Amino acid sequence: MNAVMPQSTSAPEQGSSAAVFAVEKVNLLGMTRPELEQFFEQLGEKKFRAGQVMKWIHQFGVTDFAQMTNISGKLREKLEKVAEIRAPEVVHRNYSKDGTRKWVFRVGDGAGSLVETVLIPANDKTGARKTLCISSQVGCALDCSFCSTGKQGFQRDLTPAEIIGQLWVANQSYMEDVPVAERSRTVTNVVMMGMGEPLLNFEPVVASMALMLDDFAYGMSKRRVTLSTSGVVPMIDKLAETIDVALAISLHAPNNELRDELVPINKKYPLEQLIPAAQRYLAKDGNESSRKHITIEYVMLDGVNDKAEHAQQLLKLLKDLPSKINLIPFNPFPHAPYGRSSRNRIMAFQKTLSDAGFVCTIRQTRGDDIDAACGQLVGQVADRTRRAERWQKKVASQQGEILRTQGD
Ligand code: SF4
C-alpha cells in the first residue's frame, strides 16, 4: 500500500451504494520534500510542484488550494479531491503579557490526547528571537521524577503533521491579519524539548526537523534547531548519522546515583555511556556550527542537586565535553516532590561553573501569568475537559431519564 496516496476507507459512505467508498484525504502538512515529490509524481505531475506547494503551506500559511495562484486550476481541483492541509486542533491558547504564547492541541479523542507548545520571545530590546518549544509525544514514558509530563504517562507518538503543525500554528498566530503576499515566518528557533522524548519517536521527529531546515519550508539554520534528549544513547548515534541539528542533554544530575532517581533512563544508559555519546555527536564528520557544543540542561531542585559538591562533580563530568550549561529554576506543579532552589543557591552554582570557564546561563522564568511548568497547562485543560465530559454524560443520562419517564 502506498503511504502517500489517498486511501479508500473500508466502510461505504452513509446513504451511498456499497460500491462507493469514502476517500481519506492525504494531509500534506507533515510531508517532507521527497515525500511530496513522490506524491506529485504519482498524481502524474512534475516534481517541482512539491516546492511550490510547500512554500504556500509553510511560508504563507495557506491551507486552501484555491489560493495557490501559481498552480493551474486543473491541478488545484485535483488536489482538492485527494489532499488537505490540516494542522492539529487548538483547544486552548494563552498569550502572556511578556510575549510568551502557549497552545494546547488536541491530537485524538478524549481528555488524554492533549499536547502543549510554548513560544518564548528573547528578553531583549528587539524581542526578535522567538523560540518555540515543541512536543513530540502525547505524555511520556520516561517518568522523570521532577516532570509534570512524566506524571501523565505515555499515550502515543505524534505524527509529522502533528509535530510540524505546532510550528505552523505558532507562525500563523502572527500572520492571521497579514495579507498573504506580505507574510513571513516569525519563529526563529525551535527546541524539541516539550512533552515526550523526541528520540523515542525518531522518524516523525526527524521528518519534522527536515522540514524546519528545508528552504522551501521554514529554512531555519541548523544551529537554531535543537533536539533535547534525556539520554537515549543508541539514538544519539543514529541522530548523528541522520540529520545535522544542535543537541541538548537533559542532564539534571552530576552522578549516577542521583540521576538514576531524577532521570530513570539513566539506569539503562548511565553517564559513562551518555557523555561519550555526546562527544561522538560533536566529533561526527561534517561538523557544522550546530555541533560546536552540547547544551546541558540542569533543573535546580532545592537541596537535591544544587549544592556546591554537585557543581564540583558537574565540572569534573563535563571537563572533556564542550558544553554550555543552562540552569533551569524548577517550576513546582501540584504534588511535586521538589521545591525550587533559592536565587542565591542558583547564582552560587552558576558562579562555580562560570569561574571554571563554562558558559552558564540561568533560564528566565517566563509566562508566569499564563501557567507554570511544561506539561502543567495540559493537565489543567485535561481536568477541564474531563469535567466537561463528565458533565455532558450526566446531562445525557438525565435527558434519557426524562424521556424514559415521559414514555411511561
Ligand atoms: S523530562 Fe522529558 S523525558 Fe523526562 S518525563 Fe518529562 S518529558 Fe519525558
- The C-alpha cell 556550527 sits at 289
The catalytic residue among 116, 133, 297, 360 is 116
CATH topology of domain 8-84: DNA polymerase; domain 1 (1.10.150)
Instruction: Kindly give the distance from the C-alpha atom of residue 51 to the centroid of ligand 1, in angstroms, as a whole number.
Output: 35
Q: How high is the pLDDT of residue 393? A: 55
Q: How high is the pLDDT of residue 130? A: 92
User: E strands of 182-261, at which residues?
Assistant: 189-192, 225-229, 246-250
The reply to whether 196 sits in an annotated binding site is: yes
Residue spans in the chain of domains classed CATH 1.10.150.530: 8-84
Q: What angle do CA 144, 146, 147 make, to 5 degrees?
A: 70
Instruction: Kindly give the distance from the C-alpha atom of residue 247 to the centroid of ligand 1, in angstroms, as a whole number.
Output: 16
The response to whether residue 147 sits with its C-beta less than 6 Å from ligand 1 reads yes
Task: Domain 89-392: give its CATH code.
Answer: 3.20.20.70
- In the annotation, is 133 catalytic? no
Residue spans in the chain of domains classed CATH 3.20.20.70: 89-392
Ordered per-residue pLDDT tens for the chain, 408 residues: 444 555 544 444 444 444 455 668 999 999 999 999 999 999 999 999 999 999 999 999 999 999 999 999 999 999 999 999 999 999 999 998 888 999 999 997 766 688 999 998 887 766 689 999 999 999 999 999 999 888 888 999 999 999 999 999 999 998 877 778 777 778 999 999 999 999 999 999 999 999 999 999 999 999 999 999 999 999 999 999 999 999 999 999 999 999 999 999 999 999 999 999 999 999 986 655 557 899 999 999 999 999 999 999 999 999 999 999 999 999 888 888 899 999 999 999 999 999 999 999 998 776 555 554 455 556 555 555 454 455 445 545 655 554 454 444
- In the annotation, is 116 catalytic? yes
How far is residue 205 from each of residues 55, 106, 276, measured CA to CA in Å? 20, 18, 23
Q: For residues 59-74, b (16+ Cβ closer than 10 Å) or e, as one string?
A: bbbbbebeebeebeee
CA nearest to 302, candidates 146, 155, 90: 146
Q: How high is the pLDDT of residue 74? A: 95
Q: Write the residue with the smallest CA distance to atom 5 of ligand 1.
A: 150
Q: Write the residue with the smallest CA distance to atom 4 of ligand 1.
A: 144
